[in-house]
Amino acid sequence: MARLSSAQDYKSLLDKYDTWLFDCDGVLWQGDRLVDGVPEALNLLRTHKKRILFVTNNATKSRKSYKKKFDQLGLEAQVDEVFGSAYASAVYLSTVMKMPKHKKVYVVGMKGLEEELEEEGIQHLGGTDPADNTLAEFHLKDFQPDPDVGAVLCGLDTSVNYTKLSKAFTYLRRPGVVFLATNIDSTYPSADGLLPGAGAISAPLACALGREPLSIGKPAETMMDCIKAKHQFDPTRAIMVGDRLNTDIEFGNRGGLSTLLVLTGITHESEVVGPHASTTVPTYFTNSIGDLRAAIS
Amino acid sequence: MARLSSAQDYKSLLDKYDTWLFDCDGVLWQGDRLVDGVPEALNLLRTHKKRILFVTNNATKSRKSYKKKFDQLGLEAQVDEVFGSAYASAVYLSTVMKMPKHKKVYVVGMKGLEEELEEEGIQHLGGTDPADNTLAEFHLKDFQPDPDVGAVLCGLDTSVNYTKLSKAFTYLRRPGVVFLATNIDSTYPSADGLLPGAGAISAPLACALGREPLSIGKPAETMMDCIKAKHQFDPTRAIMVGDRLNTDIEFGNRGGLSTLLVLTGITHESEVVGPHASTTVPTYFTNSIGDLRAAIS
């Protein structure tokens, strides 16, 4: 593992890699605030004809609404450069599970997740349905489960409640109903600090059922398969940039890519150097992706 | 482990034990339905001057409201015969943690839990407060944490939502704030079937924090200490009757009591006999506590 510091370090990084995969929250921005120097760093890569891909576990937004976030922040991005765990989950259901058209997914999640399911032609229940977004008491006797539900898909859902959890639990107790999570990040970096993440939304179900969901997002291979289906690249000339060791860095390492950890998000320096360092080790680390600007000088 | 079947089995059980501890949900009743023969079985014990105690992990009700449930079902019970995990949690905060009077507890739980805290003179936030029972978006920047919060206490909360979870998470990230759960039963036996239990309510926080709560209810010793502080009894002449191996039976076994598993609740016979039996073994098992009526003949 190398700590990047000199202009030469960043120049050789630029030479070595043609494909740059970026996590977003905690790397490009923190909530609604751009990380310092990000526009310049991304422009530098585009000027050098690098392929840029954005790979996010955030499943609250579809790729289209994610693109809007880039627009609002003044960052150039194309929809087909964006890979979210909501999209990857929809692709998993349609192409890996090959879920029949008449089958449905019960969603514990938000609008972006529903949009990606719809793009893949997958029928869904729950999610933003007003009937399931309630704090009213839930009684099993008033619930008629839909026999066509073949999977429960959990993502970050800030409207999570006992009715959704109870319905999801009831479906998951039926034989053959698959338990999926867009991702299992334990926390979510909001603009003002950490909040419970998608892993905290599927945790009640995992507890009640005594089994864990299959997680689609980073570090799972499903996400990498999704990207490779659309973009061919040489892993030895590709680098994954992220702020989380157990998702981003693990994801890049597993895929045979080089990895660059930045310290603008979740991970503290003490987790990569020193006696308490993690066993997941990035190829490089630096304070911020903005540091790449040093290569310009 | 002995399977009880003959009238003689039940008669000798009656002779052997002076103190009878009962779990309630799944033993005395299922939701709002009495288990067959329960009134006769309890009357039999009272006629024989047995001490009866009700020991429940259900923390949605205070002892007083639990007493009302007995009344409604036509069962004799005194408030001081009832030990709930809500009560035990309040006693733990006041007598074991010795929480100073100016300190407060943030509650993820229901009215019964708040009532027990109030009985012990403990200040609380969250819980049934309408401000925290909302599906509106939560923003950390609008939240002013109360510096006097010294603990977060989670119980079954059918109004659980992202605002409560986010506030609880924020408190628990502060140094010295204690993470307690009334109990960690993964499921809750409602009248019409299983629903997610108290363990599923603290699970999102455990996931987001990366640490587990201290659980007060069965099988923890705290619950036994609570009972012993009020009632003296000889453990060798006491029996714990329950439907869950990992809470009720474990609780009785740890406390040096005999244990009787009934099959009217969570546990299937295959979990006590045969190749897949649990390592937690009751002293006795029988189909239903109603079978005790056989001792009358």
Tell me the per-residue pLDDT of A173-210, one tens digit each, with 9 for 90 and over: 999 999 999 999 999 888 889 999 999 999 999 999 99
For residue B49, the distance in angstroms to the closest alpha carbon of chain A comes to 39
**A141 close contact with B: CB closer than 8 A:** yes
Give the CATH fold of the B2-57+219-296 domain. Rossmann fold (3.40.50)
Residue type, A194: L
Nearest residue to A238 (alpha-carbon basis) of A257, A223, A221: A257
| The pLDDT value given to residue B94 | 93
- 3-state class of B94 per DSSP? helix
Q: Which of B9, B18, B23, B234 is catalytic?
A: B18
Amino acid A84 reads G
Closest to A63 (Cα-Cα) out of A50, A81, A46: A81
Q: What is the pLDDT of residue B229?
A: 87
- B148-175 burial: b if 16+ Cβ within 10 Å, else e: ebbbbbbbbbbbbbbbbbbbbbbbbeee
Using an 8 Å CB-CB cutoff, list chain B residues near A130: none
Q: How far is B204 from chain A (nearest CA, A)?
A: 4
Q: What gap in Å lies between CA B292 and CA B124, rounded to an integer?
A: 43
* Pairing of β A51-56 and β A82-84: parallel
Q: Cβ atoms within 10 A of the Cβ of A228, count?
A: 13
Q: Which CATH number fits domain A88-215: 3.10.50.40, 3.40.50.1000, 3.40.630.40, 3.40.50.2000?
A: 3.40.50.1000
Of B169, B187, B192, the CB nearest to A140: B192
Q: What is the pLDDT of residue A128?
A: 98
**What pLDDT does A31 receive?**
83
**Could you tell me if B121 lies within 8 Å of chain A, comparing CB atoms?**
no
Is A137 in CB contact (< 8 Å) with chain B?
yes
A81-115 as b/e, with b when 16 or more CB fall inside 10 Å?
bbbbbbbbbbbbbbeebebeeebbbbbbbbebbbb
Pairing type for strands A123-126 and A104-108 reads parallel
Which stretches of B120-249 are DSSP H helices? Answer: 162-172, 198-209, 221-228
Q: What average pLDDT does this structure show over A244-252?
A: 96
Could you tell me which chain B residue has the CA closest to the CA of A143?
A: B192
What pLDDT score does B30 carry? 87
The pLDDT confidence band at residue A230, using thresholds 50, 70 and 90, is confident
Q: Does B136 touch chain A (CB under 8 A)?
A: no
Q: Do domains B2-57+219-296 and B87-215 have the same CATH topology?
A: yes
Between CA B139 and CA B131 the distance in angstroms is 13
Which residue in chain A is spatially nearest to B132 when comparing CA positions? A135
Chain A contact set for B152 (CB, 8 A): none
A194 touches chain B (CB under 8 A): yes
Q: What are the backbone angles phi and psi of residue A2, rounded to the nearest 5°?
A: -115, 135
B184 CA: distance to closest CA in chain A (Å): 9
Catalytic: which of A9, A15, A18, A157?
Answer: A18
3-state secondary structure of B234: coil
Check residue A231 and give left, alpha or beta (phi > 0: left; psi -120 to 50: alpha). Answer: beta
**Rounded Cα–Cα distance for residues A242 and A55 (Å):** 9
A24 touches chain B (CB under 8 A): no
Give the distance from residue A231's alpha carbon to the nearest chain B alpha carbon, in angstroms: 34
* Cβ–Cβ < 8 Å for A119, A72: no
How far off is chain B from A186, nearest CA to CA, in Å? 5
Q: Mean pLDDT per 10-residue run, chain B (297 residues)?
A: 94 97 94 93 96 96 93 95 96 93 97 96 98 97 98 98 98 98 92 93 98 96 90 96 96 97 93 92 97 88
A223 close to A242: Cβ distance less than 8 angstroms: no
Nearest by CB to A210, from B166, B186, B206: name it: B186
Please state the domain extents for chain A: 2-57+219-296, 88-215
Which chain B positions have a beta carbon within 8 Å of A135's beta carbon? 133-135, 159, 161
- CATH topology for B87-215 is Rossmann fold (3.40.50)
Quick: pLDDT tens for A146-168: 999 999 999 999 999 999 999 99
Of residues B84, B111, B117, the one with CA closest to residue B218: B84
**Which of B140, B190, B207 comes nearest A203 by C-beta?**
B207
**SS3 readout for B1-62:** CEECCCHHHHHHHHHHCCEEEECCECCCEECCEECCCHHHHHHHHHHCCCEEEEEECCCCCC
Nearest partner of B170 among A244, A201, A204, A193, judged by Cα: A193
Count of pairs with CB atoms under 8 A, one residue in A, one in B: 118
- Annotation says A80 is catalytic: no
Predicted ipTM? 0.92
> Do B162 and A196 make contact, defined as CB atoms within 8 angstroms?
yes
Residues in chain A: 297
* Residue A248: closest CA among A183, A155, A158: A183
Contacts of A186 in chain B (CB under 8 A): 207-210
Query: Does A195 reach chain B within 8 Å, measured CB to CB?
Result: yes
**Which among B237, B229, B263 has a CA at the least distance from the CA of B248?**
B263
Model confidence at A68: pLDDT above 90: yes
Output the CA–CA distances (angstroms, integers) from residue A259 to A244, A248, A283, in the order listed. 11, 8, 5
CA distances from residue B248 to B55, B225, B272, B281 in whole angstroms, order as listed = 9, 15, 14, 11
3-state secondary structure of A92: helix
Which tokens belong to B231? Answer: 């009632």
Cα–Cα nearest to B206, from B287, B89, B108, B291: B108
Write the DSSP assignment of A253-276 as a string of letters.
HHTT-EEEEESSSS--GGGTSSTT
Please report the pLDDT score of residue A197 as a whole number: 96
- Residue A157: the pLDDT is 98
